[in-house]
Amino acid sequence: MPVSEGINLALMLVESGIIDNAVHEVMARPQLLMAAEASPGIKSAMKNQVMKWRGQVKNKISNVSIEEQFSQELELYQAASNWSKEEFMDNIDTVIRKLEGQSAFYFKAKRLNAREHEKHNPMFQSYFCNTWYEYLSHALKEAQANDLEQHKDKLIADLYQRIETMKQMEEVTEAGDPKKAGRLWDMAKAKLTRTDIDSMKSIASFLKKNNGLKEIAEKLGRMANEIDDPNKERVKSEDLRMVEEKSDSVTDDIVGIHESDDLSKLLPNEAMFLAYPELEVVFYKHLVDKRLMNYRVQGSQRKLRKVKAFKRQTKQVDQDKGPFIVCIDASGSMSGFPEQCAKALAYGLMQIALAEDRDCYVIMFSTQQITYELTKQDGLTEVLNFLSYSFHGGTDLGPVLDQSIDLMTSDKYKNADLVVLSDFIAPSQPAEMLARISKLKEQKNRFHAINLSRYGNPELMTMFDHCWSYHPSKLSRLLKWR
């Protein structure tokens, strides 16, 4: 098969501008323009999605030529173009038969072949193949245009769906926040129902009314920048500083007498040589030899100089923020108010992760583990699945810690904040587990515990860097819901 011929033909058509015209047509739609102008974050995310689509469609359309639809005809065309005049005349009938039902050029080829008086023209083969090439080019362009139209319709439907989802999310959270809008746009492919919106609004409202949970979430979001980096030591630096230096050109003090040729600092007795013509030549000889007696002066002047010094880097070091790994105890003892707290806090951490371009993974554990990736492209679907999950079963903290530690030892999850939400009514962990956690802490991973019960095991929580307790009284809960 003439792969190079097919690819060149396809690329020629792709470069004709049909894809760019499709991009302009999509972006010029009024609803998309209004959505883009409403938020800089959405505008940037939408543009990135359309440009990504442009590259993907260009690659797909470029490969139309080597699909089964055109491969046989291109192969036949290339063979006919390279035949000698005799071979062409011997095989033209066979070629036309093969084109029947396969090519738009068939009827034109049949008419050309029927003109007996033109077939013997030396230019007939060239004219036949050039006409065939034009039909091939037109057919391929049509196929590309049809393919492009299908891709464009899918893109427009996807963009409209995302706009609709973003509008619905504005009822729940600050979807117009430029820091969140880009990632929310990536997640907005999911179609939300009114029940979905009501569920998220309920959790967002619960988080807002429970200020203690909100403060914990915000504190967790800041902690990645408040960690001391043990690798930051004293480093050599070179700074410009104003320093004072001794200088003979500054006339602060007369400190003595020396031989020189500076007439401005000449001793009076040296000028006596000029009073006598016969001694004048001695004066000039001393001047040339720099042997005239001068006052020696000295003083201090200030000037900028590069000074090398060792200094310790700042204690608070900006670090790349890793993902949140949120482990939620989904046992039956967590049902009720603790379950609402756990879901609200995970939702709050997701909002912070969106604003700070971090990932947020939720691992729900009881007797088994269920994982949700809340900030991926299908994140809204995962959020809804997570919020609809009912807590039941028993508590088994060991396996989820094993799973989390395995994740944190990989490059993808390094520098992570592990947050465990539980009632911590469970036995202490073995020494081996504590050693693994200690090793990860040395690598800038952070371990946090949020205790949602008054009866948590204090010894179990000693393995965490930070521990919060949140279990308000029933009276305070009622007041918050008033």
Q: β-strands 417-422, 369-373: how paired?
A: unpaired
Q: How far apart are CA 188 and CA 185, in angstroms?
A: 5
Q: How confident is the model at residue 67 (pLDDT cuts 50, 70, 90)?
A: low
C-beta of residue 445 within 8 angstroms of C-beta of residue 475: no
Do 359 and 460 fall within a single domain? yes
For the chain, the straight-line distance linking the first and the last C-alpha, in angstroms and rounded, comes to 76
The per-residue pLDDT for 229 is 47
Do 155 and 83 fall within a single domain? yes
Residue 25 confidence (pLDDT) above 80: yes
Q: How confident is the model at residue 1 (pLDDT cuts 50, 70, 90)?
A: very low
Domain annotation covers residue 315: no
Do 259 and 333 fall within a single domain? no
Residue 8 confidence (pLDDT) above 60: no
The per-residue pLDDT for 477 is 44
Domain annotation covers residue 190: no
Q: How confident is the model at residue 230 (pLDDT cuts 50, 70, 90)?
A: very low
Residue 482 confidence (pLDDT) above 60: no
Do 330 and 383 fall within a single domain? yes
Do 17 and 134 fall within a single domain? yes
Do 276 and 345 fall within a single domain? no
Tokens of residue 406, six digits: 């395995």
Domain annotation covers residue 475: yes
Residue 450 confidence (pLDDT) above 50: yes
Sheet with 369-373, side-by-side order of all strands: 369-373, 360-365, 324-329, 417-422, 446-451, 466-469
pLDDT in tens, 126-177: 899 899 888 888 887 787 778 888 888 888 888 888 888 887 777 776 555 6
Do 138 and 251 fall within a single domain? no
Residues 6+ apart with CB under 8 A from 139: 70, 103, 104
Q: How far apart are CA 417 and CA 360, in angstroms?
A: 10
Domain annotation covers residue 216: yes
124's enclosing H/E stretch is helix 124-170
Do 58 and 166 fall within a single domain? yes
Residue 481 confidence (pLDDT) above 50: no
pLDDT in tens, 313-334: 544 444 567 888 999 988 888 8
Tokens of residue 470, six digits: 């949140």
Q: How far apart are CA 254 and CA 239, in angstroms?
A: 34
Q: How confident is the model at residue 224 (pLDDT cuts 50, 70, 90)?
A: low
Do 415 and 272 fall within a single domain? no
Tokens of residue 439, six digits: 């090793």
DSSP state of 373: E
Residues 6+ apart with CB under 8 A from 353: 323, 324, 359, 360, 374, 375
Give the domain-ending residue among 170, 203, 235. 170
Domain annotation covers residue 417: yes
C-beta of residue 188 within 8 angstroms of C-beta of residue 168: no
Domain annotation covers residue 313: no
Domain annotation covers residue 414: yes
The residue ranking higher by pLDDT, 128 or 19, is 128
CATH assignment at residue 421: 3.40.50.410
C-beta of residue 405 within 8 angstroms of C-beta of residue 434: no
Q: How far apart are CA 162 and CA 177, in angstroms?
A: 16
- What DSSP string runs through 144-192? HHHHHHHHHHHHHHHHHHHHHHHHHHHTTS-TT-HHHHHHHHHHTTSPP
Do 277 and 342 fall within a single domain? no
3-state secondary structure at position 242:
strand
Strand ranges for 165-283 from DSSP E: 234-247, 253-260
Give the range of the structural domain holding residue 410, as residue numbers without chain letter. 211-227+320-480
Q: How confident is the model at residue 79 (pLDDT cuts 50, 70, 90)?
A: confident
Residues 6+ apart with CB under 8 A from 334: 328, 342, 391, 422, 423, 452
The per-residue pLDDT for 179 is 63
Do 344 and 286 fall within a single domain? no
3-state secondary structure at position 375:
coil
Q: How far apart are CA 453 and CA 307, in angstroms?
A: 58
Give the domain-ending residue among 236, 269, 300. 300
Domain count, the chain: 3
Residues 6+ apart with CB under 8 A from 61: 10, 13, 14, 19, 144, 147, 148
Share of the chain above pLDDT 70, in %: 80
Residues 6+ apart with CB under 8 A from 197: 168, 171, 172
Residues 6+ apart with CB under 8 A from 123: none
Tokens of residue 458, six digits: 């204090």
Do 327 and 264 fall within a single domain? no
Q: What is the 3-state secondary structure (H, E, C) of 282-305?
A: HHHHHHHCCCEEEEEEEEEEEEEE
Domain annotation covers residue 131: yes
Q: β-strands 417-422, 324-329: how paired?
A: parallel
Sheet with 253-260, side-by-side order of all strands: 234-247, 292-312, 253-260
